[in-house]
Structure 1
Amino acid sequence: MPAYWDVSATTPVDPRVAETVLRLMTEEFGNAGSRTHEYGAAALSEVSTARRRVAECVGAAPEEVVFTSGATEADNLALLGLRAHGESTGRRHVVTTAIEHKAILEPAAHLAKAGFEVEFIPPQKNGIVDAPRLLAAVRDDTLLVSVMHANNETGAVQPIAEISRGLAQREAYLHVDAAQTFGKLDDELADSRIDLISLSAHKVFGPKGVGALVTRRRGWRRPPLEPLAYGGGQERGLRPGTLPVPLVAGFGLAAQLAHDEREQRRQSSETMRAAVLEALEPTEPQLNGDPERTLPHILNVSFPGADGEAVMLAWRDLVAVSNGSACTSASYQPSHVLTAMNLPESRVRGAVRLSWAHDAEPVDWAEAARRVNGLRGS
C-alpha cells in the first residue's frame, strides 16, 4: 500500500482510541439509557466522561455538547434547526461563504427554497474570506452567520476571531464548522461568542460515525434549535436514538489526545511541510491558498502543465492523495472552492491536495517530483 497522505478526508484511528472502542463493544457494552443495572451505569459514565473531554477542548460546559453522527449532521442541525426560530421572528437572512463544505451549502440551499435569503460571500484569491465584507452583509434580520474555521481543500484558516468581534453587538447566531481545526486551533474555538460548533471524530484520529454540535449558551439562553428527528428525547431532545457508547467514548479520548498533543503534532506537520515543498521545488508548484494562513498539514498545489488526475495516477503506488473533498471526489468535478477563488481553470484542474498526519509514513518526494516532470514531457 502507498503512504497515506489524505487525512483531510479521514484519519486512521489512534491505537489508544481503538483499544477503548473495542473494549466497549465487546466487554462493557451497556446502553447509556439503561438505568436499572451496572451495565447502563458504566455506559453512562463513559458518555459523561467523553462529553466533558470534548467540552473542555473548546471551553464549553459538558451539557452544551450534543453528540451526533458527525460534523455533517451537526451542520444540518445548526442550520435547519434554527429554521423555525427564523420563521417565527421574521429573521430569514443567512450569511455564509462560497467555500463551505457541502454539508453547509446544501442545507443553506434548502433554507433558500423555504423562503430564506442566503448570501454566499466569495473568498479572496488567497482562499480567505474578507471579514469586513462578510460583516457588512449582516443585517438586523440576519438569523445566522456560518463560516468554516479552516477550509478542507486548501487549509486556509478563516478570520473567525475578527468575525466574532464584529458580531459582538448583533443578535445573529454564529456557527463555525470546525471539522478541520478541532484539536488543532482549540484556543480560537473557545471564543464565547461562537454559538454553535460542528465537530467530527474521524478528523482527529477517532472513529467514524460520531461527532458533536456544541450549543453554547448566551447567559442562560440556549440556541433555539429544533430537532430534525424525533423519538426518545436523547441529547436534550435534539438528537434522538441510542447513543453509540463505544464511538462516543472513542471520540472523547481522541479529542483529549489531540488537544493535549496539539503543539507536538503541529511542529511535526510543519517539518514535513518544509521537506515536501523543498523536494517538489523542481516542479515549480503553485500553492493554492495563503501559505502564511493555512493549516500546517494541508497543502493544495497545482503543477503547471500537469493535470491533477494524471498526477494522482502517476503517484498511485507512492502516496494516497486527493483532488478535493472526499464527499464529491468519486466523480470528479472542478473544485467549487478553487473556482470561487477565481483561479484559472487549468490551475483548478491541475490541483492536488496533500494532507498528512503528524506521524505520516515517509514518501519519496524526489521521485514524486520526477514523475510530475515526466508527465509534462509525455
Structure 2
Amino acid sequence: MAVAAYSSLVSLMHVLDNVQHPVRRHQLHLDTDQIQSLQEKVEFLQGFLELHSQRISPEMEDLAKRLAVAADEADDIIDFHVVNQLRERSQDQSLHMVALSSFCQDIDNIIEKLDSIMKKLMVVKEEWVDVQEQRPIVSVSVGSTALPSSDKNTMVGFDERLLQVVDELTRDEFDLQILPIVGMGGIGKTTLAQNAFDHPYIVNRFDIRIWFTISQQYSVREILLKYLINGKKIKASVADELDLAKLDNRNGCRILVTTRLLDVARPLGFDNHYLTVNFLDEDKSWDLLCEKVFAQQSCPYPELEEIGREIAKGCRGLPLAIVIIGGLLSKSDRTREYWEFVEENVSSFVKSGDDESCLKILSLSYNSLPLHLKPCFLYMRVFPEDDTIKASS
C-alpha cells in the first residue's frame, strides 16, 4: 500500500508544480502561499515513505491507504478547479473571488486531512523508536558502505557438477548430443549452464556458442536463424535455403537444456541420459551465503556467524534463496537484531519442492527496493514475452 500512496503523492506533486508554473499561475485564481504549504507537506510525506516504507504493520498499512485516498482526492479537486477556471475566463471580479474562495476552502480541507495523517504517522514512528530502544542491539561496523557481494554467477557447491557438464559436452562424439539439466525452480540450473557456457574448455572447443531462452510458443528455425544471422555466421540472403538438420547434426554440435520437468528431459537426452541438480548441504549453503554477503567464503564477524549459519540452514539448500537473502544482508546494517529477524522469517519463504516459493523469495528483492523504484516494474508489462528490450547506455 505504501507504493500506491507514494505514487499518488508523486502525481499530486506534478499537479502542484503545474499550477505554480509562471504561465499557468497567471491564468488561475489561487493562493500561492497555500499551494506552497500543501507542496511542503506532500514533499515531507514522500520523504517519510521513502525512509520508512519497509516498516510493515497494520497501522502503517491503514495510514498509507488513507494517504493514497487523500492524495488522489486532492489531485482530482485541483484538476476540477483548474479546468473550471480555465473554462470560465469571466471578467467579472466577483466570480473571480468566488472561484478563489472555493479553491482555497478545498485546499484547506486537503491540508487538514494530510495534517491528520502526518500526526498519526509521527505517533507510529515514536512507537517504533520506543520498541527499538528496548531491544539490545549488537552492531558490527562496516564503514560507510557495505562490503560488495560478488556479481559473478557463483558456483559454490556445484564445482563437481560443472566439471561433469563440461566433460560430457566436450567428448569426441560426431553426432548431435543433447544434455538436459533437471531440477526445481531456484536450484541453480541456469547458473550451472551459464558457467559451462563460459568455461574456457567450451569457449576453445566450439566455434559458435549461442545462448537463448524459449517459452511455450517457439520456432526452432526462427531461433537458430535469428542468432546465426545476428552473429554474422550466415548471411540473411541465404537463410531461407538452409537445411536446419544439416546445421545441427553430424558436426559435433552440443545442446545444453535446462528444465524443471523430468518428462521433458528424458526424451531429449541420449538414451534417456540427463543431469540433476540437487540441494546444497549445510556447509556449502553457508559458504554460498558468505560469498554473497561478504564476497568471501567465510564470515569476518564472529558475532554474526551463529545466526548466519541458521539463516543458511533455513534456506534448505536452495541456492536461489541463499543468493537473494545474501544480497539483502549485504546491503543491510550488520546488526544482530536484523539478522535475527531474517533468521526468524526465512523459513516462511522457502518450502522444499514448492516452485511458488521462488516468487516469494524474489519478492524479498522487490520489497527491499527504494520506494521510487518499485513502480518501474509496472512498465515491464508493456514488453511482449521474450522480446529484446533496448536501452540507452
Q: TM-score range by the shorter chain?
A: under 0.3
Q: Which TM-score applies when normalising by structure 1?
A: 0.28
Higher radius of gyration, 1 or 2: 2
